[in-house]
Chains A and B, each alone.
Chain A
Amino acid sequence: MKKLIVAATAMVLLAPGIASAKEMTFASWGGAYQDAIRKAWIQPFSKESGIKVEEDTGPETAKIKAMVETKSVTWDVVTAGGGGLMRGVRQGLFEKITPDMVNTDHVIPGARNDYGVASEIFSTLIGFSTKAFPAAGPQPRNFADFWDIAKFPGKRTLPDKPETVVEAALLADGVPMAEVYKTLSTEAGLKRALDKIRTLKPQVAVWWASGAQPVQALGSGEVVMALGWNGRFQAGIESKLPIAMAWEQQIPQVGFFMIPKGAPNKAEAVAFLNYIAKPENNARLSEFVAYGPTSEKALAAIPAARMENLPSTSERLKNALFLDIEWWADNGAKVTEAYTAMLKE
């Protein structure tokens, strides 16, 4: 409240001077995700700081590149996954975010990046049909179970892109977490992962292209097990679809907020990033979507019932292999070619 009064006073004092009511533009992917960001962060941030936040949608990396190169950047903060962040960084599209701009010491180490502030953590894991595998009997728990057709018969669905699938395949094949990317970096290791996926191919009914598909396929009974995103599975569960998640093994990914190079309101953008990075603020997004906070300090602020659905609890992080975005930026093209070729066989 005190902050609010200060902010209000500041606004009153500033207002007559100029129309310099501070503002910035935030661009994200629309839909439920941006609705959640608006409620959790944008509205309270505007109230607290007096900075008006304009929203836009569709921050395609190609569009960011075009904006930066034509010097017509209209966005101050954009959002992306790790892949988008890294490819943008390689092409020099984002401002470097130094510790004196935004302090990220408290952020989970796997989620830190020099060019983006970690906004949330979501996870790729197993979702399964509770009709096919009810609580009374054995239920799949880890990636090895995903590949175990004898114990858990029925069709599966996997992403049509290799990210997270090759990692899951190696984990299922018994490679220890710490060795996964080292193994994948060798020809033999990549082949091992692809061979493992090949053995499952006859059981894969759908190679999904959009995050809604695995949930839809589980709900309709088209498949009994899916490798998909926890937030989507959770939405399915909340819509009363017969789905449960196996939390024993997961591949978390981080969502990032970045500042495009040449952003017109950089100071306001930095203020916004500071706001979302603060643990007590960061925790708030989890009220609206089933994404986890990026700092263990934020966990205390989240009710226990919600914690059960989030990927970044201290317990779950122990068995979590963070997607290595640097590795994918280096090897993505080659691995995608090999993966597509394997699928087309």
Chain B
Amino acid sequence: MTAQAPAAALAGRSNPAGVGRGFPVWLGLAPFGLVLLVLFAVPVLSLLKLAFGESGFSLAQFERMAAVPVYRSVLLTTLGIAGLVTALAVIASYPLAYVMATVGPRARGLLMLLVLLPFWTSALVRTTAWIILLQGNGVVNTMLMGAGLTASPIAFVYNLSGVLIGMTHVLMPFVVLPLYAAFRNLELSTVQAAESLGAGPLTVFRRIILPLTAPGVVAGAMIVFMNAIGFYLTPALMGGPGQAMIAQMIASNINTELNWPFAAALATVLLVATVTMLVLFQRFFGLERLIDGGGGKVGQPFTVTSRGRSTGGWLAIVAAGLIGAFLIAPIVIVFPMSLGSSPFLAFPPESYSLVWYENFFSTSKWVTALTRSLQIAALVVTISVVLGTLAALGVSRMRPRWRNMVETIFILPMIVPVIILAVGLYYLLAPTGLVGSIWGVTLGHVVLATPYVFITVRAALKSFDDNLELAALGLGASWATMFRRVMLPAIAPGIAAGAIFAFITSFDDVIIALFLTNIRSRTLPKLMYEGVAHEIDPTIIAASCLIILVTVVVLGANLLVAKRKTS
């Protein structure tokens, strides 16, 4: 893409008004492109090339993979589970996002909290809580058997259902947020028109809501799918041997077996399979076409119609209630668990004490690590929001021909197993002295986090009405003024969702931190992960509870302030 091209490529449509004043494509693509080249392509490729022989070209690693059926079946299991989790997350998100978009601001704030809280607990804490809820003599089975609904306990965990429950729970927010943004962009009059023409709730959903929310759903589903492929803690702890996932095998070949060529081969196959699926998905569903149907909302936002909720609406509220309960269940039991005195977690605890909270505050390492994590996450959010938004602007102004390819390249960091990036970055950064400093881990997180911002902002831009931009420019606004006054407010929800995702990506990461930090720069997840092969230190549960409490207080205060302002 040359510097002259952007004006003509503007929005991919004939667009004479923008000539000379548009946003240059290269300015959007170059910063993140450069970051990807240096901090992603170079380190990852230097590791992946091991798959093709360490001295001289060889396909031996791939031959081994093909010869042993286990690897094929694990790859298929991985893609299957990722697909199932994506489907479940999308289905479960619709009622919740619908209700969030149609209730008052306070209820909405509360629901938002429900959706975000699972993000705020460490994966270890979450899975432990689920196991305690769902195991044979766990809380749920005790309740079901007490109510006489089942005679013998139902096997919820250590099988496929355990994996689906655990993964859908934590990945769902990735769909809910963009979907909620899409619902907010729906225009009430469209729905009213359909209803007045006699469309029932099902028809309204299928013909109006589904197509108009597609950009949000597709963005969320892509994030969930690619995230799911890289999971291994949850499947290892909540699944059975039938649910072994490929990321686990890649990590163990890197870290335990030290068989990097084979790990590289596994990762290469995973990468090719995932990218192929993405491309097929895009072709098959004709995403671009689907998405371009959206946009153009100036009217009243989507809300409950004057006739009140339809039957479908009420059903959605019931479903949303159940889903909300599902989201909050493990978090609710975490609090009593954190007050137990035994290092072996039980619910309800046999005796209560504050020992784990004392532990958190009395040993400086916990507070230090938490502060460090927040510092790093703040840096990562700032950098990745700028890079991701620029990249999304650039891509949305590209010619359609190259757009798909660039789009795929920009989300590659989500597909490549993190451990490959982490090891590659170590080799790259060790000579620079950045390993062990807070900047090494920050750079790694920026690579991981920017694609989230890119995807959500890109989705927001897809529903942005280009005519507004043209109108502003036509009235003499400079591009910068137009962006600040017209475009930015419209895509702000997308940027906010991306920022949250970026924050979580950084705040939750263990693997990059494992390789790029030392004891002075270690993050909270790294500290939580220490010694975990042997024991779970309940201090991590206290830490999670504290983080949840702080979140609830901050968001709660925010809600109160917002309410006072409006009244």
Contacts and interface: CB of A to CB of B under 8 A. Distances in A.
Nearest to B137: A221
Chain A binding surface, main DSSP class: helix
A241 B350 CA distance: 11
B242 interface: yes
A72 B518 contact: no
Contacts of A72: 430-431, 435
Contacts of B254: 62
B361 interface: no
Nearest to A342: B241
A301 interface: no
A60 B135 CA distance: 32
B201 interface: no
A245 to B, nearest CB: 16
A62 B158 CA distance: 29
B324 to A, nearest CB: 27
A235 B518 CA distance: 29
A37 to B, nearest CB: 12
Interface stretch (B20-28, B30-38, B287-295, B533-541): B533-541
B135 A343 contact: no
Interface stretch (B111-119, B176-184, B385-393, B519-527): B519-527
Given A60-B515, A160-B236, A30 B244 contact: no
Contacts of B147: none
A65 B422 CA distance: 13
Interface in B334-362: 342-346
Nearest to A70: B430
Given A60-B515, A62-B258, A236-B344, A31 B237 contact: no
Contacts of A212: 344, 532, 534-536
B256 interface: yes
B146 interface: no
A91 interface: yes
A55 interface: yes
A63 B241 contact: no
Contacts of A135: none
A239 B73 contact: no
Contacts of A236: 344
Interface string A57-99: 1101111011101101010000000011001101100000000
Chain B binding surface, main DSSP class: loop
B255 interface: yes
A332 B236 contact: no
Contacts of B419: 62
B514 interface: yes
A343 B242 contact: yes
A57 B137 CA distance: 36
Contacts of B532: 31, 210, 212
Interface in A221-266: 221-222, 229, 231-232, 235-236, 239-241
A30 B527 contact: yes
Nearest to A223: B136
Contacts of B197: none
Nearest to B132: A220
B534 A61 contact: no
Given A56-B518, A66-B430, A341 B533 contact: no
Contacts of A66: 423, 426-427, 430, 515
Contacts of B435: 72
Contact of B535 (A61, A211, A333): A211
B158 A206 contact: yes
B69 interface: yes
B70 interface: yes
A34 B237 contact: no
Contacts of A235: 343-344, 535
Given A57-B530, A58-B530, A209-B237, A32 B69 contact: no
Given A160-B241, A239-B342, A344-B73, A56 B137 contact: no
Contacts of B158: 205-207
A90 B259 CA distance: 11
A279 interface: no
Contact of B515 (A63, A74, A217, A241): A63
B109 interface: no
Interface in A161-187: none
Contact of A222 (B136, B431, B522): B136
B429 to A, nearest CB: 9
A319 interface: no
B535 A32 contact: yes
A29 B427 contact: no
A84 B68 CA distance: 24
A33 B74 CA distance: 34
A340 interface: yes
Given A58-B514, A83-B256, A206-B158, A34 B531 contact: yes
Nearest to A31: B531
Contacts of B6: none
Interface string B128-163: 000110011110000000000000000000100000
Nearest to B131: A216
A343 B244 CA distance: 10
B68 to A, nearest CB: 5
A32 B244 contact: no
B436 interface: yes
Nearest to B244: A340
Contact of B136 (A34, A83, A205): A205
A220 B258 contact: no
A113 interface: no
B533 A210 contact: yes
A33 B241 contact: no
Nearest to A240: B342
The 5 A-B residue pairs with the shortest CB-CB distance, nearest first, are A31-B531, A30-B530, A343-B241, A70-B430, A209-B236
Interface of B: 68-70, 73-74, 131-132, 135-138, 158, 236-237, 240-242, 244, 254-259, 342-346, 419, 423, 426-427, 430-431, 435-436, 514-515, 518-519, 522, 526-527, 530-537
9 contacts: A29-B533, A31-B535, A62-B423, A70-B431, A72-B431, A207-B240, A341-B70, A344-B73, A344-B244
